[in-house]
Amino acid sequence: SAGVCETSVYHEKLAQRIAELREEIRILENCHNQVTPICCLPPEILSKIFLTLSAVTPRHHPRDSVSWFRVSHVCVHWRSVALSCSDLWANLRFVSPAFTELMLDRAREALLSVVF
């Protein structure tokens, strides 16, 4: 019984240390990404790139039409720029009700383009 208790405590400490190391790796990756040349571009230029990507994305299937959305998952900087670019979210595609609502929220005051 005592061995099981000690194993449980040891396992908990290992899990806690793993979580700490994962957080440290996340912070280091963020620092690494911040010094890459693409992250040194001003948000205005990066936004234009994202808008161009959105404009040239194939529209054969509703899910394809929002594949540009992946840019918001590259790094913290790209996500911040993508989320702050309301025009990027104003070209509504009805992939799902939840995604459409998300796009409406992120489009804020931008003029909407609705494709049905």
CB atoms within 10 A of CB 106: 17
85-97 pLDDT, tens digit per residue, is 999 888 877 778 8
34-75 pLDDT, tens digit per residue, is 888 888 889 999 999 999 988 887 766 555 656 788 888 888
From residue 43, alpha-carbon distances to 49, 50, 86 in Å are 10, 10, 13
At 113 the three-state DSSP class reads strand
From residue 34, alpha-carbon distances to 46, 59, 79 in Å are 14, 32, 12
**Which tokens hold the place of 73?**
């998952």
Of the candidates 108, 58, 64, the one whose C-alpha atom is nearest the C-alpha of residue 87 is 108
